[in-house]
Amino acid sequence: MADPNPFSISLSPGKLRSKPKDSSPQTVAKSDEAAEKHGFVERTPKKRRGRKPSPRTGQVHAKVMPNVSREISREASARGVQQGVLIEEAWALYKAHRDGLE
């Protein structure tokens, strides 16, 4: 007679065992060759895709008054630069002025 549940799996320890896989370079090369022969190609990206990392990685989160924020935003838009560039230039001017006082 048939089992009462034909889709059940016996989980007894003696029946389910993992077997180590041969991962030697020769075996991997052989399986890659067979895969290519059957039309399988490696799909991992060859190079890093997407946007290149920016050299400006340090972020300054300056809280400023709304009128200062609007002025910085307007100036950056008028000059066609990012707001961070304005902050870098302002810092350079500050340092030059400070060094001139010493």
Q: pLDDT tens digits for 2-42?
A: 667 778 776 776 666 778 888 899 998 998 889 888 888 77
Q: Tens digit of pLDDT for each residue in 47-94?
A: 777 788 777 777 777 788 999 999 999 999 999 999 989 999 999 999
**Which residue shows structure tokens 């003696």?**
14
Give the amino acid at 75: E
1 pLDDT above the threshold of 70: no
pTM listed for this prediction = 0.45
Euclidean distance between CA atoms 56 and 85, whole angstroms: 10
Amino acid at 50: G
Distance CA 49, CA 26 (A): 30
pLDDT for res 74:
95
| Nearest C-alpha neighbor of 54 from the set 90, 84, 86 | 84
Two structure tokens written together for 3: 């089992």
DSSP secondary structure, 30-48, as one string = HHHHHHHHTT----S-SS-
The amino acid occupying position 35 is A
